[in-house]
Structure 1
Amino acid sequence: MKYKILLIEHDGSSLRVLKRVIGKANLEVVIATSLTEARVIFENSTPESFLCAVVDYQLPDAPHGEAIDFAIESFVPVIVITSQTDTDIRDRILSKAVVDYIPKSNAQIYEYLSRLLLRLEKNKQVGVLVVGGNNRSRQHLCELLNRHNFIAYQAGNAESAFALLEQHSNIKLLITDQKLPGTQGVDFVATVRTEYSKEELSIIGTSDDGNASLLANFIKSGANDYLRKPYCHEEFFCRVLQNIEYIEQIEVIRRTANTDYLTGLPNRRHFFSKVSGILRREPACASLALLDLDHFKQLNDTYGHDCGDLVLKESAKLIKKHFADCQFSRFGGEEFCVFLSDMNAEQAFEKLDSFRKLLSDKVFKFRKKSIRCSVSIGLTSAPQAKLERMLTRADEHLYLAKAQGRNRVVADALGVSDAV
């Protein structure tokens, strides 16, 4: 679903800049130059189709922020933009249930708006857990988080918090008060860190205690950050976003390190790590297959490397779908590897052979040309303590599959399956 942004702004030059900024975030812009126009737009729309409203504080028919109240009452998150930067206006804006306010002061501020819009869309998938404090303070924090489209959870004690962490894998940030029933926040953080690393979960400690050493105690116990109460609206969200973006950056780095850049499949290093861990648990049955696309060099020489890349990417999509319940990887070049656990030799053979048929029937379209490609497969179903031994055996079978005419599966003791 592509969300829309309602932009309520009357100044022509600001409109042009804001429209470009919102377009950069790949969002559809719906423009109203007055509160009256905004009302008409909402009469013919559903609030759910809008990610948020970007509202100028001062409009010809709404000079004192009335358009902000209208958008909030319409259940749309509101970002306020204003050329008025005095303290009274700022305090008046932040007293309302707005996402943020942005003064029209410089180009960098508009860059911040673009990032904020992207975040509002991302946040719909991100969970934040609020722990401790009284019911009223937890509810207040959850309301603030909901303004930014976060999925907010709350727990009154450490036991309930652990249960929620276990149930909801989308929780990326935990905000805990120092005062918890039966324990202290710093001790709770230390316990959480025995199960969740800083790369998996960010933690912010909070307290109204003026003791300066408490910040250090939270950090030493494993928290990423600390907020002393009372804190302002803007500081709270800056800390929240900073800590969630840290987790997301780690996820991007990890995904990049574990993924083949061309096909998007797990790479060889990640495959070795995952499968070696499974083999250490000594599964009752396990099979490993090496798959090599036939005559791939000839395909590259005939049609070019762009065509070869297309065949690799489309073949990878088939592997990902067909072996969704298995471990798989691009090993390099035109070679792929699949590990099938909890599957006996006959089942593994049948699954690999059905993939062989699926690929040989596939027609690849490249620049109005129809191209076909087959695959040779070496399969072993003799589990070994070390993955390298299974790979050696599968490679021997793959060599035989190539030598015997390609487009076939050669396995340990199940004979050969080839093209009809």
Structure 2
Amino acid sequence: MMRKCGGCDHTDLQSLFSLGDIPPVNAFLLPSEVKNEIGYPLELFFCKECTLIQLGDCVPPEKLFSNYLHLSSASESNIQHLKEVADWVAERDSKKLQDKKVLEIGSNDGTLLSFLKNHTANVVGMDPAQNLAAEAKKRGVRTYTDFFLQESAAKLVKTEGQFDWIVALNVVPHTPQFISLLKGARGALAPGGRMMIEGAYVVETILNGQFDTIYHEHVYNFSIHSLNYAMKRVGLQILDVEIIPTQGTSFRVLLARDDDPEQASGNLKKLLGEEKQKGMTDVKTLAKAAEKIKAFPDQLKAKLKELRKKSASPIIGLGAPARGVVILNYCKLNTDDLQYIIDDTVLKQGRLTPGVHIPVAGWDHAPIQPGQVFLLLSWNYRKEMIKKLNQRQIQGTLLIPFPHLEEVKIG
């Protein structure tokens, strides 16, 4: 139980809503493992002191990340995003990146660092997943297998020295001790260095009723207000921030040490003002978003029931990402609703989705009939999925849950 704010240590947290007890969303199961599956509460709390939104209960990170089945390279859209990130870092550097040292926190299978190697040979990653470190090694990426916190960061600096660039994509929100992570990054960042982080942007997700970014790995849901508060606490400063479409809308924040002379761009002040205007700092606004979330399961089930009556074959799920597993569990969908789920990640195929135990398979699992209905669980990769369906000349209907419930004809 973590009923203290992870950003400011405030103890007067207000409950927003609960999604119930759900198993870790990336813990895909073999049939023999179902009997040992454990669910954990998913309840969100709001801190009135620093406006951070966080889970009330935290699953030990070693249970979530030591053998991780989410691969950076599993999606073509994500690969393209990581290429763009590498180019962004290179363009942002005032001097040639080839002379700079780059660290990625949460480096996964080394995909991003393999792209950054086109700009500099001095790259290193840190990730707690042993299985992913092995994948990174195949790409020629040196990886330390550990959680990046203040202590492990200090050890890394003793071995590698400080870094000119630190990149952390969807890592800060996933780290229960994120203040320790940021303090470690402050110590590992060389004078004049830069750090870039990305994560799901709470204003465009939860505030709009998109609850599928709430899962055990994703301990925190940041606004720019809550990020700005945390950075000041650890000796970092926000230089620039932009909102990007990745993962259903994310923030991208450029950071420097607090002793760096560069001044923040106007984007920081602008976004802080927009958040306040939208009510992001007011718990009453968040309570209204909770009502949207509570209404969603009945809306989705009604639409699935309607489409099932029109289809000659059972509905199939498309994609088995973490966000999709959240949707399945919160809406209590199972094999009565979806026959199976198609996912490109080989590590997930032949296993069952956490909690609701729907089989995961590849595209060639079974012939797909004309008029097939799909529930797009990887809705943030909508364009990529529609392209795949068209390439396979599949005709039917695609039900897309977010950003709003939408029915799309394909073929």
Normalising by the residue count of structure 1, what TM-score does the alignment of the two structures yield? 0.24
Higher relative contact order (CA 8 A, sep 6+): 2
Normalising by the residue count of structure 2, what TM-score does the alignment of the two structures yield? 0.24
- Flag the structure with higher helix content: 1
Q: Which has the larger radius of gyration?
A: 1
